[in-house]
Chains A and B, each alone.
Chain A
Amino acid sequence: MKIDIKHIAKLANLRLKAEDETKFEKQLNEIVAYVEKLNEVDTKGVEITSQVTGLKNVTREDKPAPSLTQEEVLSGTSSKHNGLFKVGAILEE
Protein backbone atom coordinates (compact mmCIF):
# COMPACT_ATOMS: atom_id res chain seq x y z
CA MET A 1 0.00 0.00 0.00
CA LYS A 2 1.38 3.38 -0.91
CA ILE A 3 1.02 6.48 1.22
CA ASP A 4 -0.71 9.53 -0.26
CA ILE A 5 1.81 11.93 1.28
CA LYS A 6 -0.05 15.13 0.45
CA HIS A 7 -3.28 13.91 2.01
CA ILE A 8 -1.63 12.44 5.11
CA ALA A 9 0.53 15.50 5.70
CA LYS A 10 -2.60 17.63 5.66
CA LEU A 11 -4.35 15.30 8.14
CA ALA A 12 -1.26 15.52 10.33
CA ASN A 13 -1.14 19.31 10.18
CA LEU A 14 2.35 19.22 8.66
CA ARG A 15 3.52 21.52 5.90
CA LEU A 16 6.09 19.78 3.76
CA LYS A 17 8.31 21.25 1.10
CA ALA A 18 7.98 19.62 -2.30
CA GLU A 19 11.44 18.05 -2.19
CA ASP A 20 10.74 16.65 1.30
CA GLU A 21 7.51 15.13 0.08
CA THR A 22 9.41 13.10 -2.48
CA LYS A 23 12.12 12.09 -0.02
CA PHE A 24 9.69 11.00 2.69
CA GLU A 25 7.41 9.26 0.26
CA LYS A 26 10.23 6.97 -0.87
CA GLN A 27 11.45 6.24 2.66
CA LEU A 28 7.98 5.68 4.06
CA ASN A 29 6.82 3.41 1.29
CA GLU A 30 9.83 1.20 2.05
CA ILE A 31 8.85 1.11 5.70
CA VAL A 32 5.23 0.39 4.88
CA ALA A 33 6.32 -2.47 2.62
CA TYR A 34 8.31 -3.85 5.56
CA VAL A 35 5.51 -3.65 8.11
CA GLU A 36 3.16 -5.40 5.75
CA LYS A 37 5.07 -8.49 6.84
CA LEU A 38 2.33 -8.77 9.47
CA ASN A 39 -0.01 -10.07 6.79
CA GLU A 40 1.87 -13.37 7.10
CA VAL A 41 0.51 -13.82 10.63
CA ASP A 42 -2.77 -15.61 11.15
CA THR A 43 -4.69 -13.45 13.58
CA LYS A 44 -8.12 -14.97 13.10
CA GLY A 45 -10.01 -14.82 16.40
CA VAL A 46 -7.14 -13.10 18.20
CA GLU A 47 -8.15 -10.36 20.64
CA ILE A 48 -6.44 -7.01 20.34
CA THR A 49 -4.05 -5.78 23.00
CA SER A 50 -4.38 -2.05 23.45
CA GLN A 51 -3.17 -2.07 27.06
CA VAL A 52 -0.76 -4.45 28.77
CA THR A 53 -1.56 -3.59 32.39
CA GLY A 54 -4.80 -5.50 32.78
CA LEU A 55 -5.97 -2.61 34.92
CA LYS A 56 -9.58 -1.50 34.90
CA ASN A 57 -11.79 1.14 36.51
CA VAL A 58 -9.03 3.56 37.37
CA THR A 59 -10.75 6.81 38.27
CA ARG A 60 -10.42 9.80 40.56
CA GLU A 61 -12.87 11.32 43.02
CA ASP A 62 -14.78 14.39 41.90
CA LYS A 63 -12.77 16.80 44.05
CA PRO A 64 -11.38 20.10 42.78
CA ALA A 65 -7.61 20.59 42.94
CA PRO A 66 -5.55 23.75 42.46
CA SER A 67 -5.06 25.00 38.92
CA LEU A 68 -2.11 26.83 37.41
CA THR A 69 -2.17 30.61 37.64
CA GLN A 70 -3.10 32.55 34.53
CA GLU A 71 0.50 33.71 34.32
CA GLU A 72 1.83 30.15 34.42
CA VAL A 73 -0.68 29.07 31.79
CA LEU A 74 0.33 31.84 29.41
CA SER A 75 4.04 31.64 30.16
CA GLY A 76 4.83 29.41 27.20
CA THR A 77 4.06 31.95 24.51
CA SER A 78 4.38 35.62 23.70
CA SER A 79 1.26 35.55 21.54
CA LYS A 80 -1.43 36.52 24.04
CA HIS A 81 -3.97 39.25 24.70
CA ASN A 82 -5.96 40.06 27.82
CA GLY A 83 -5.36 36.70 29.43
CA LEU A 84 -6.17 34.76 26.27
CA PHE A 85 -4.00 32.88 23.80
CA LYS A 86 -3.88 34.63 20.47
CA VAL A 87 -3.71 33.06 17.02
CA GLY A 88 -4.35 34.37 13.55
CA ALA A 89 -8.03 34.50 12.65
CA ILE A 90 -9.61 31.10 12.11
CA LEU A 91 -12.02 31.43 9.23
CA GLU A 92 -15.44 30.01 9.88
CA GLU A 93 -16.78 30.49 6.40
Chain B
Amino acid sequence: MKLNELTIKEAVEGLKGKKFSSVEITKACLSQIEKHNPNINAFLTINEHAFDEAKKADEARESGSNTSLLGIPIALKDMYLTKGLRTTAASHVLENYIPQYDATVVQKLKDAGVVILGKTNHDAWAHGSSGENSDFEPTKNPWNKEYVPGGSSSGSAASVAADMAIASTGTDTGGSIRLPASFTNTVGLKPTYGLVSRYGIIAMASSLDSIGHFTKTVEDSAIYLNVTAGNDPMDATTTKNKTPNYLEDLNEGIKGLKIGVPKEYFTQGLDSNIKKNIEGAIKKFEELGAETVEISLPHTEYSLACYYIIAPSEISSNLARYDGIRYGNDRTHFGDEAVRRIILGTFTLSSGYYDAYYKKAMQVRTLIKRDFEQAFEKVDAIISPVSPTPPWKIGEKTDDPLAMYLSDALTVTANLAGIPGLAVPSGFIGDLPTGFQILGPQFSEKLLFRIGHAFEQTKERRVLDI
Protein backbone atom coordinates (compact mmCIF):
# COMPACT_ATOMS: atom_id res chain seq x y z
CA MET B 1 0.00 0.00 0.00
CA LYS B 2 1.22 3.46 -0.83
CA LEU B 3 1.82 5.69 2.19
CA ASN B 4 -0.82 8.18 1.13
CA GLU B 5 -3.41 5.39 1.18
CA LEU B 6 -2.96 4.82 4.90
CA THR B 7 -5.54 5.62 7.53
CA ILE B 8 -4.64 7.83 10.53
CA LYS B 9 -4.44 4.76 12.73
CA GLU B 10 -2.14 2.90 10.33
CA ALA B 11 0.02 5.96 9.77
CA VAL B 12 0.44 6.61 13.50
CA GLU B 13 1.30 2.97 14.12
CA GLY B 14 3.83 3.00 11.32
CA LEU B 15 5.37 6.25 12.50
CA LYS B 16 5.61 4.97 16.05
CA GLY B 17 7.14 1.73 14.79
CA LYS B 18 9.60 3.76 12.72
CA LYS B 19 8.40 1.95 9.56
CA PHE B 20 8.37 5.24 7.70
CA SER B 21 8.61 8.94 8.39
CA SER B 22 6.17 11.80 8.21
CA VAL B 23 8.30 13.25 5.44
CA GLU B 24 7.66 10.10 3.42
CA ILE B 25 3.92 10.13 3.98
CA THR B 26 3.78 13.84 3.21
CA LYS B 27 5.82 13.34 0.06
CA ALA B 28 3.46 10.61 -1.06
CA CYS B 29 0.45 12.88 -0.50
CA LEU B 30 2.06 15.83 -2.25
CA SER B 31 2.96 13.61 -5.17
CA GLN B 32 -0.63 12.35 -5.36
CA ILE B 33 -1.82 15.93 -5.29
CA GLU B 34 0.57 16.93 -8.01
CA LYS B 35 -0.54 14.03 -10.17
CA HIS B 36 -4.29 14.23 -9.71
CA ASN B 37 -5.31 17.65 -8.47
CA PRO B 38 -5.26 19.19 -11.96
CA ASN B 39 -8.00 16.71 -12.91
CA ILE B 40 -9.92 16.77 -9.66
CA ASN B 41 -9.42 20.34 -8.48
CA ALA B 42 -9.65 19.40 -4.81
CA PHE B 43 -7.02 21.90 -3.66
CA LEU B 44 -7.00 25.67 -4.08
CA THR B 45 -3.76 26.33 -2.21
CA ILE B 46 -0.84 24.05 -1.42
CA ASN B 47 1.11 24.83 1.74
CA GLU B 48 4.66 25.48 0.63
CA HIS B 49 5.85 24.71 4.18
CA ALA B 50 4.29 21.24 4.27
CA PHE B 51 7.59 19.50 3.79
CA ASP B 52 9.22 21.55 6.58
CA GLU B 53 6.32 20.79 8.89
CA ALA B 54 6.75 17.10 8.17
CA LYS B 55 10.45 17.33 8.96
CA LYS B 56 9.72 19.10 12.22
CA ALA B 57 7.17 16.43 13.09
CA ASP B 58 9.76 13.70 12.57
CA GLU B 59 12.26 15.60 14.69
CA ALA B 60 9.65 16.04 17.41
CA ARG B 61 8.89 12.34 17.36
CA GLU B 62 12.63 11.64 17.66
CA SER B 63 12.77 13.79 20.80
CA GLY B 64 9.94 11.80 22.33
CA SER B 65 6.82 13.76 21.36
CA ASN B 66 3.76 11.60 21.00
CA THR B 67 0.86 13.88 20.17
CA SER B 68 -2.07 12.04 18.61
CA LEU B 69 -1.76 13.35 15.05
CA LEU B 70 1.97 13.96 14.97
CA GLY B 71 3.17 14.01 11.39
CA ILE B 72 -0.19 13.22 9.81
CA PRO B 73 -0.80 15.22 6.62
CA ILE B 74 -4.27 16.72 6.41
CA ALA B 75 -6.16 19.16 4.21
CA LEU B 76 -8.25 22.08 5.44
CA LYS B 77 -11.47 23.35 3.86
CA ASP B 78 -10.82 26.90 2.74
CA MET B 79 -13.36 28.24 5.23
CA TYR B 80 -10.82 27.65 8.01
CA LEU B 81 -8.56 30.63 8.71
CA THR B 82 -4.89 29.72 8.59
CA LYS B 83 -2.43 32.37 9.68
CA GLY B 84 -0.14 33.35 6.84
CA LEU B 85 -1.73 30.86 4.45
CA ARG B 86 -4.20 32.15 1.87
CA THR B 87 -7.85 31.60 2.84
CA THR B 88 -10.43 32.31 0.14
CA ALA B 89 -13.83 30.83 1.11
CA ALA B 90 -13.59 29.68 -2.54
CA SER B 91 -14.72 33.19 -3.46
CA HIS B 92 -13.29 36.03 -5.57
CA VAL B 93 -14.05 38.31 -2.61
CA LEU B 94 -11.18 36.72 -0.63
CA GLU B 95 -9.08 35.64 -3.56
CA ASN B 96 -5.88 37.09 -2.09
CA TYR B 97 -6.71 37.13 1.60
CA ILE B 98 -3.96 36.17 4.03
CA PRO B 99 -5.38 35.79 7.55
CA GLN B 100 -3.64 37.23 10.61
CA TYR B 101 -4.74 34.47 12.96
CA ASP B 102 -5.45 30.73 13.10
CA ALA B 103 -8.86 29.24 13.79
CA THR B 104 -9.00 27.54 17.20
CA VAL B 105 -9.41 24.14 15.52
CA VAL B 106 -6.41 24.83 13.31
CA GLN B 107 -4.37 25.64 16.41
CA LYS B 108 -5.59 22.46 18.09
CA LEU B 109 -4.67 20.38 15.05
CA LYS B 110 -1.24 22.06 14.89
CA ASP B 111 -0.75 21.34 18.58
CA ALA B 112 -1.62 17.71 17.85
CA GLY B 113 1.22 17.72 15.31
CA VAL B 114 -0.51 17.67 11.92
CA VAL B 115 1.16 18.60 8.66
CA ILE B 116 -1.01 20.98 6.67
CA LEU B 117 -0.99 20.02 3.01
CA GLY B 118 -3.14 22.90 1.82
CA LYS B 119 -6.62 24.41 1.55
CA THR B 120 -9.39 22.64 -0.26
CA ASN B 121 -11.99 23.80 -2.72
CA HIS B 122 -15.69 24.05 -1.88
CA ASP B 123 -18.89 25.84 -2.84
CA ALA B 124 -18.13 29.51 -2.30
CA TRP B 125 -19.02 30.52 1.30
CA ALA B 126 -20.17 26.90 1.81
CA HIS B 127 -23.29 27.68 -0.20
CA GLY B 128 -24.06 24.53 -2.12
CA SER B 129 -24.54 20.81 -2.30
CA SER B 130 -22.26 19.87 -5.18
CA GLY B 131 -19.11 22.02 -5.23
CA GLU B 132 -20.30 23.70 -8.41
CA ASN B 133 -20.70 27.09 -6.75
CA SER B 134 -16.96 27.49 -6.27
CA ASP B 135 -15.59 30.64 -7.87
CA PHE B 136 -12.55 28.57 -8.86
CA GLU B 137 -14.13 25.76 -10.90
CA PRO B 138 -15.85 22.77 -9.31
CA THR B 139 -14.11 19.80 -7.74
CA LYS B 140 -14.71 16.51 -9.59
CA ASN B 141 -15.80 13.29 -7.96
CA PRO B 142 -12.62 11.13 -7.96
CA TRP B 143 -14.75 8.00 -8.53
CA ASN B 144 -16.10 9.41 -11.79
CA LYS B 145 -14.87 12.79 -12.82
CA GLU B 146 -18.02 13.64 -14.76
CA TYR B 147 -19.96 13.63 -11.53
CA VAL B 148 -20.16 15.95 -8.57
CA PRO B 149 -18.43 14.92 -5.33
CA GLY B 150 -21.20 16.59 -3.32
CA GLY B 151 -20.88 19.82 -1.39
CA SER B 152 -20.27 22.15 0.04
CA SER B 153 -17.08 20.44 1.37
CA SER B 154 -16.34 19.03 -2.10
CA GLY B 155 -12.57 19.39 -2.13
CA SER B 156 -12.08 18.03 1.39
CA ALA B 157 -14.14 14.92 0.58
CA ALA B 158 -12.36 14.40 -2.73
CA SER B 159 -8.91 14.86 -1.16
CA VAL B 160 -9.49 11.98 1.24
CA ALA B 161 -11.27 9.81 -1.32
CA ALA B 162 -8.39 10.21 -3.75
CA ASP B 163 -5.81 9.62 -1.02
CA MET B 164 -4.31 13.06 -1.44
CA ALA B 165 -4.73 13.60 2.30
CA ILE B 166 -5.04 11.21 5.24
CA ALA B 167 -7.92 13.26 6.62
CA SER B 168 -9.50 16.65 6.02
CA THR B 169 -11.64 19.27 7.70
CA GLY B 170 -15.10 20.38 6.72
CA THR B 171 -18.13 22.37 7.81
CA ASP B 172 -21.70 21.09 7.86
CA THR B 173 -24.48 23.66 7.99
CA GLY B 174 -27.16 21.75 6.08
CA GLY B 175 -25.34 18.55 5.13
CA SER B 176 -22.08 19.89 3.73
CA ILE B 177 -19.98 17.11 5.24
CA ARG B 178 -22.41 14.23 5.20
CA LEU B 179 -23.51 14.66 1.61
CA PRO B 180 -20.03 14.73 0.01
CA ALA B 181 -18.92 11.92 2.33
CA SER B 182 -21.72 9.71 1.03
CA PHE B 183 -20.86 10.68 -2.57
CA THR B 184 -17.14 9.86 -2.19
CA ASN B 185 -17.01 6.72 -0.04
CA THR B 186 -15.53 8.55 2.93
CA VAL B 187 -16.58 8.85 6.54
CA GLY B 188 -17.94 12.28 7.38
CA LEU B 189 -18.81 13.51 10.87
CA LYS B 190 -21.10 16.41 11.61
CA PRO B 191 -20.58 16.85 15.37
CA THR B 192 -23.18 18.18 17.80
CA TYR B 193 -23.55 21.93 17.36
CA GLY B 194 -21.26 23.55 19.90
CA LEU B 195 -18.99 20.54 20.40
CA VAL B 196 -16.25 21.93 18.17
CA SER B 197 -15.25 25.60 18.15
CA ARG B 198 -16.32 27.83 15.28
CA TYR B 199 -13.81 30.54 16.14
CA GLY B 200 -11.73 31.39 13.09
CA ILE B 201 -13.95 29.50 10.67
CA ILE B 202 -15.80 31.71 8.23
CA ALA B 203 -19.37 31.85 9.45
CA MET B 204 -22.12 30.74 7.14
CA ALA B 205 -25.22 30.37 9.34
CA SER B 206 -24.16 30.88 12.94
CA SER B 207 -26.83 28.78 14.66
CA LEU B 208 -26.40 25.90 12.20
CA ASP B 209 -22.65 25.68 11.38
CA SER B 210 -21.08 22.50 12.65
CA ILE B 211 -17.33 21.91 12.49
CA GLY B 212 -16.45 18.40 11.36
CA HIS B 213 -14.14 16.29 9.29
CA PHE B 214 -13.55 13.56 6.69
CA THR B 215 -11.61 10.37 7.32
CA LYS B 216 -11.23 6.98 5.70
CA THR B 217 -12.58 5.03 8.66
CA VAL B 218 -14.86 5.51 11.63
CA GLU B 219 -12.03 4.90 14.07
CA ASP B 220 -9.99 7.65 12.40
CA SER B 221 -12.96 9.95 12.83
CA ALA B 222 -12.96 9.32 16.57
CA ILE B 223 -9.18 9.81 16.85
CA TYR B 224 -9.58 13.15 15.07
CA LEU B 225 -12.56 14.29 17.18
CA ASN B 226 -10.51 13.71 20.33
CA VAL B 227 -8.33 16.58 19.10
CA THR B 228 -10.95 19.09 17.98
CA ALA B 229 -13.78 18.66 20.49
CA GLY B 230 -14.18 20.75 23.59
CA ASN B 231 -14.93 24.18 25.03
CA ASP B 232 -13.32 27.25 23.53
CA PRO B 233 -13.43 30.52 25.51
CA MET B 234 -13.35 32.37 22.18
CA ASP B 235 -16.67 30.78 21.08
CA ALA B 236 -19.56 31.44 23.47
CA THR B 237 -21.64 28.66 21.94
CA THR B 238 -19.25 25.81 22.70
CA THR B 239 -20.19 23.18 25.24
CA LYS B 240 -19.15 23.48 28.87
CA ASN B 241 -19.26 19.69 29.21
CA LYS B 242 -16.10 17.71 29.66
CA THR B 243 -15.53 15.74 26.47
CA PRO B 244 -15.00 11.96 26.66
CA ASN B 245 -12.49 9.79 24.86
CA TYR B 246 -14.38 9.15 21.68
CA LEU B 247 -12.65 5.82 21.12
CA GLU B 248 -14.02 4.40 24.37
CA ASP B 249 -17.01 2.44 23.14
CA LEU B 250 -15.79 1.80 19.62
CA ASN B 251 -15.73 -1.97 19.82
CA GLU B 252 -18.76 -2.49 22.04
CA GLY B 253 -20.91 -3.78 19.18
CA ILE B 254 -24.53 -2.85 18.77
CA LYS B 255 -26.35 -5.76 20.38
CA GLY B 256 -29.50 -4.55 22.08
CA LEU B 257 -29.39 -1.07 20.65
CA LYS B 258 -32.60 0.35 19.24
CA ILE B 259 -32.13 2.02 15.87
CA GLY B 260 -34.96 4.13 14.46
CA VAL B 261 -35.90 4.25 10.80
CA PRO B 262 -37.84 7.47 10.08
CA LYS B 263 -40.64 6.74 7.67
CA GLU B 264 -40.74 10.30 6.36
CA TYR B 265 -37.22 9.87 4.95
CA PHE B 266 -38.35 7.06 2.68
CA THR B 267 -40.88 8.83 0.53
CA GLN B 268 -41.43 8.62 -3.21
CA GLY B 269 -38.67 11.14 -3.85
CA LEU B 270 -36.02 8.71 -2.61
CA ASP B 271 -34.04 7.00 -5.38
CA SER B 272 -34.92 3.30 -5.47
CA ASN B 273 -31.30 2.18 -5.49
CA ILE B 274 -30.52 4.23 -2.44
CA LYS B 275 -33.61 2.82 -0.76
CA LYS B 276 -32.48 -0.71 -1.52
CA ASN B 277 -29.01 0.04 -0.20
CA ILE B 278 -30.30 1.43 3.06
CA GLU B 279 -32.62 -1.51 3.52
CA GLY B 280 -29.54 -3.70 3.13
CA ALA B 281 -27.80 -1.71 5.83
CA ILE B 282 -30.81 -2.01 8.12
CA LYS B 283 -30.75 -5.77 7.67
CA LYS B 284 -27.06 -5.74 8.54
CA PHE B 285 -27.79 -3.90 11.77
CA GLU B 286 -30.36 -6.48 12.66
CA GLU B 287 -27.88 -9.26 11.97
CA LEU B 288 -25.45 -7.53 14.32
CA GLY B 289 -28.04 -7.68 17.06
CA ALA B 290 -29.68 -4.27 16.97
CA GLU B 291 -33.42 -3.79 16.95
CA THR B 292 -34.69 -1.56 14.17
CA VAL B 293 -37.89 0.35 14.82
CA GLU B 294 -39.97 2.47 12.51
CA ILE B 295 -40.32 5.98 13.90
CA SER B 296 -41.92 9.17 12.76
CA LEU B 297 -40.39 12.61 12.43
CA PRO B 298 -43.60 14.37 11.41
CA HIS B 299 -42.19 17.78 10.51
CA THR B 300 -39.60 16.41 8.08
CA GLU B 301 -41.39 17.80 5.03
CA TYR B 302 -41.06 21.34 6.40
CA SER B 303 -37.38 21.11 7.26
CA LEU B 304 -36.09 22.36 3.96
CA ALA B 305 -38.37 25.40 3.96
CA CYS B 306 -37.41 26.08 7.55
CA TYR B 307 -33.71 25.79 6.72
CA TYR B 308 -33.91 27.97 3.65
CA ILE B 309 -35.31 30.80 5.70
CA ILE B 310 -33.06 30.56 8.75
CA ALA B 311 -29.81 29.89 6.90
CA PRO B 312 -30.04 32.73 4.33
CA SER B 313 -31.18 35.13 7.08
CA GLU B 314 -28.06 34.45 9.13
CA ILE B 315 -25.93 34.32 5.98
CA SER B 316 -27.09 37.77 4.91
CA SER B 317 -25.89 39.15 8.23
CA ASN B 318 -22.65 37.14 8.37
CA LEU B 319 -21.61 38.28 4.90
CA ALA B 320 -22.20 41.95 5.70
CA ARG B 321 -18.61 42.37 6.92
CA TYR B 322 -17.23 41.73 3.43
CA ASP B 323 -17.23 45.28 2.18
CA GLY B 324 -13.69 45.38 0.85
CA ILE B 325 -12.55 48.11 3.25
CA ARG B 326 -10.42 46.20 5.73
CA TYR B 327 -9.62 43.14 3.60
CA GLY B 328 -10.78 41.36 0.49
CA ASN B 329 -12.45 42.66 -2.62
CA ASP B 330 -15.71 44.57 -2.67
CA ARG B 331 -19.19 43.11 -2.80
CA THR B 332 -19.41 43.11 -6.60
CA HIS B 333 -17.17 40.03 -6.41
CA PHE B 334 -19.81 37.82 -4.84
CA GLY B 335 -20.94 34.92 -7.04
CA ASP B 336 -24.55 34.26 -7.97
CA GLU B 337 -25.42 31.84 -5.18
CA ALA B 338 -24.05 34.16 -2.51
CA VAL B 339 -26.05 37.03 -3.97
CA ARG B 340 -29.19 34.90 -4.03
CA ARG B 341 -28.81 33.90 -0.39
CA ILE B 342 -27.96 37.40 0.78
CA ILE B 343 -31.02 38.80 -0.94
CA LEU B 344 -33.29 36.02 0.27
CA GLY B 345 -32.01 36.43 3.82
CA THR B 346 -32.26 40.21 3.79
CA PHE B 347 -35.84 39.84 2.59
CA THR B 348 -36.86 37.30 5.24
CA LEU B 349 -35.50 39.54 8.01
CA SER B 350 -36.86 42.76 6.60
CA SER B 351 -39.46 44.95 8.19
CA GLY B 352 -42.92 43.54 7.66
CA TYR B 353 -41.68 40.09 6.75
CA TYR B 354 -39.73 39.05 9.84
CA ASP B 355 -42.72 37.51 11.61
CA ALA B 356 -44.01 35.68 8.57
CA TYR B 357 -40.66 34.16 7.65
CA TYR B 358 -37.83 34.23 10.18
CA LYS B 359 -39.95 34.06 13.30
CA LYS B 360 -42.19 31.40 11.77
CA ALA B 361 -39.14 29.37 10.79
CA MET B 362 -37.74 29.64 14.33
CA GLN B 363 -41.00 28.23 15.64
CA VAL B 364 -41.02 25.36 13.15
CA ARG B 365 -37.42 24.71 14.20
CA THR B 366 -38.70 24.09 17.73
CA LEU B 367 -41.10 21.49 16.36
CA ILE B 368 -38.39 19.74 14.33
CA LYS B 369 -36.11 19.67 17.37
CA ARG B 370 -38.96 18.26 19.40
CA ASP B 371 -39.55 15.52 16.82
CA PHE B 372 -36.02 14.27 17.42
CA GLU B 373 -36.21 14.59 21.20
CA GLN B 374 -39.35 12.51 21.22
CA ALA B 375 -37.84 9.96 18.82
CA PHE B 376 -34.76 9.55 21.00
CA GLU B 377 -36.97 8.63 23.91
CA LYS B 378 -37.88 5.54 21.93
CA VAL B 379 -34.61 4.76 20.10
CA ASP B 380 -30.90 5.17 20.75
CA ALA B 381 -30.03 6.36 17.24
CA ILE B 382 -31.58 6.90 13.84
CA ILE B 383 -30.45 5.61 10.45
CA SER B 384 -31.42 7.33 7.25
CA PRO B 385 -30.30 8.06 3.69
CA VAL B 386 -28.17 11.14 3.23
CA SER B 387 -29.16 12.22 -0.25
CA PRO B 388 -32.46 11.56 -2.00
CA THR B 389 -30.47 10.87 -5.17
CA PRO B 390 -27.07 9.47 -6.12
CA PRO B 391 -24.39 11.91 -7.33
CA TRP B 392 -25.48 13.82 -10.39
CA LYS B 393 -23.55 14.90 -13.42
CA ILE B 394 -21.67 18.20 -13.21
CA GLY B 395 -23.92 20.90 -14.68
CA GLU B 396 -27.10 18.89 -14.36
CA LYS B 397 -28.74 21.03 -11.65
CA THR B 398 -26.91 24.34 -11.92
CA ASP B 399 -29.72 26.11 -13.77
CA ASP B 400 -32.24 25.47 -11.05
CA PRO B 401 -31.24 26.69 -7.60
CA LEU B 402 -34.36 25.25 -6.00
CA ALA B 403 -33.67 21.80 -7.44
CA MET B 404 -30.19 22.02 -5.93
CA TYR B 405 -31.64 22.93 -2.54
CA LEU B 406 -33.81 19.80 -2.58
CA SER B 407 -30.71 17.60 -2.25
CA ASP B 408 -30.44 18.88 1.33
CA ALA B 409 -33.89 17.64 2.33
CA LEU B 410 -32.60 14.77 4.50
CA THR B 411 -29.58 16.47 6.01
CA VAL B 412 -30.81 19.89 7.15
CA THR B 413 -32.86 18.31 9.92
CA ALA B 414 -29.79 17.46 12.01
CA ASN B 415 -28.52 21.04 11.77
CA LEU B 416 -31.88 22.48 12.75
CA ALA B 417 -32.01 20.18 15.77
CA GLY B 418 -28.32 20.66 16.63
CA ILE B 419 -27.70 16.92 16.75
CA PRO B 420 -24.71 14.98 15.44
CA GLY B 421 -24.65 12.85 12.29
CA LEU B 422 -22.09 10.35 11.04
CA ALA B 423 -22.08 9.52 7.33
CA VAL B 424 -20.78 6.03 6.68
CA PRO B 425 -20.07 4.45 3.26
CA SER B 426 -22.46 1.62 2.48
CA GLY B 427 -21.73 0.54 -1.05
CA PHE B 428 -21.92 1.60 -4.66
CA ILE B 429 -24.60 2.37 -7.19
CA GLY B 430 -22.92 1.69 -10.44
CA ASP B 431 -19.46 3.14 -10.03
CA LEU B 432 -20.58 5.87 -7.66
CA PRO B 433 -20.50 5.57 -3.89
CA THR B 434 -23.48 5.76 -1.60
CA GLY B 435 -23.81 5.94 2.13
CA PHE B 436 -26.18 6.40 5.05
CA GLN B 437 -26.14 8.61 8.08
CA ILE B 438 -26.47 7.74 11.73
CA LEU B 439 -28.10 10.45 13.82
CA GLY B 440 -28.06 10.57 17.57
CA PRO B 441 -29.02 12.84 20.47
CA GLN B 442 -26.80 15.81 21.29
CA PHE B 443 -23.31 14.73 22.42
CA SER B 444 -23.83 11.09 21.41
CA GLU B 445 -20.80 10.93 19.09
CA LYS B 446 -19.38 7.96 21.00
CA LEU B 447 -22.54 6.01 20.20
CA LEU B 448 -22.45 7.02 16.54
CA PHE B 449 -18.86 5.83 16.25
CA ARG B 450 -19.80 2.57 17.94
CA ILE B 451 -22.60 1.90 15.46
CA GLY B 452 -20.64 3.09 12.42
CA HIS B 453 -17.62 1.04 13.38
CA ALA B 454 -19.70 -2.12 13.83
CA PHE B 455 -21.18 -1.69 10.35
CA GLU B 456 -17.84 -0.80 8.81
CA GLN B 457 -16.27 -4.01 10.11
CA THR B 458 -18.74 -6.08 8.08
CA LYS B 459 -17.15 -5.21 4.76
CA GLU B 460 -13.84 -4.51 3.12
CA ARG B 461 -12.96 -0.83 2.70
CA ARG B 462 -12.77 -0.08 -0.98
CA VAL B 463 -9.79 2.09 -1.92
CA LEU B 464 -10.02 4.18 -5.03
CA ASP B 465 -7.66 3.08 -7.75
CA ILE B 466 -7.34 6.43 -9.41
Residues of A within 8 A of B (CB): 1, 3, 5, 8-9, 11-16, 20, 24, 27-28, 30-32, 34-41, 43, 46-53, 55, 58-60, 68, 72-73, 75-77, 79, 85, 87
**Which residues from chain A contact B239 at a C-beta distance below 8 Å?**
53, 55
Q: How far is the CA of A31 from the CA of B328 in the complex (A)?
A: 30
B331 interface residue (CB < 8 Å to A): yes
Shortest beta-carbon contacts, A-B, top 4: A76-B327, A52-B418, A48-B362, A43-B363
Would B367 and A77 count as touching, CB distance under 8 A?
A: no
A77 and B339 in contact (CB under 8 A), knowing A3-B347, A32-B347, A72-B100?
no
**A24 in contact with B343 given A14-B331, A40-B302, A55-B240 (CB within 8 Å):** yes
The binding surface of chain B is classed by DSSP as helix
Judge whether A52 and B305 touch: CB under 8 Å.
no
Interface residues of B in 355-391 (CB under 8 A from A): 356-357, 359-367, 369
Could you tell me if B305 and A8 are in contact, using CB atoms closer than 8 angstroms?
A: no
CB distance from A86 to the nearest CB of B (A): 9
B425, chain A: closest CB distance, angstroms: 28
Bound Cα distance A24, B336 (Å)? 8
Q: Are B369 and A52 in contact (CB under 8 A)?
A: yes
B residues near A12, Cβ cutoff 8 Å: 316, 342-343, 346
Collect the chain B residues with CB atoms within 8 Å of residue A9's CB. 343
Given A31-B402, A49-B369, A77-B357 contact (CB < 8 Å): no
B residues contacting the other copy or chain, number (CB 8 A): 60
Asked whether any CB of chain A lies closer than 8 Å to the CB of B344, the reply is yes
The answer to whether A58 touches B346 (Cβ under 8 A) is: no
Q: With A14-B339, A76-B326 given, is the CB distance from A31 to B308 under 8 Å? A: yes
Give the residues in chain B near A40, CB-CB below 8 Å: 302
Return B143 CB to nearest CB of chain A, in Å: 31
Does B326 lie within 8 Å of A85, measured CB to CB? yes
Q: Bound complex: CA of A5 vs CA of B308, how far in Å?
A: 18
Residues of A within 8 A of B194 (CB): 52-53, 55
The distance from the CB of A1 to the nearest CB of chain B, in whole angstroms, is 7
How far is A41 from B172 in the complex, measured between Cα atoms in Å? 26
**How long is the Cα–Cα vector from A79 to B330 in the complex, in angstroms?**
12
Alpha-carbon gap, A30 to B340, bound state (A)? 12
A16 to B336, CA, bound (A): 11
Expressed in whole angstroms, the Cα–Cα distance for A78 and B101 within the complex equals: 19
Contact status B331-A15, CB under 8 Å: yes
B322 — nearest CB in chain A belongs to which residue? A13
Whole-angstrom distance between the alpha carbons of A41 and B418 in the complex? 21
Contact among B327, B332, B442 with A15 in the assembled complex (CB-CB below 8 Å): B332
Distance (Å) between the CB of A20 and the closest chain B CB?
Answer: 8
Contact A13 B331 (CB under 8 A): yes
B402 touching A34, Cβ below 8 Å: yes
Contact B320 A52 (CB under 8 A): no
Q: Is the CB of B308 within 8 A of A8?
A: no
A35-B357 contact, Cβ under 8 Å, with A3-B343, A48-B363: yes
Question: Cβ of A47 and Cβ of B346 under 8 Å apart?
Answer: no
Residues of A within 8 A of B266 (CB): none
B363 contacts A34, CB within 8 Å? Answer: no
11 contacts between A and B (CB under 8 A): A3-B347, A12-B346, A15-B331, A27-B402, A31-B340, A31-B402, A31-B405, A41-B299, A55-B236, A58-B236, A77-B326
Q: Which residues of chain B come closer than 8 Å to A46, judged between CB atoms? A: 363-364, 366-367
B349 (CB) vs chain A CBs: closest residue: A11
Q: Say yes or no: A14-B342 contact (C-beta < 8 A), given A8-B347, A34-B402, A85-B325.
A: yes
**Chain A residue contacts of B418, Cβ below 8 A:** 52-53
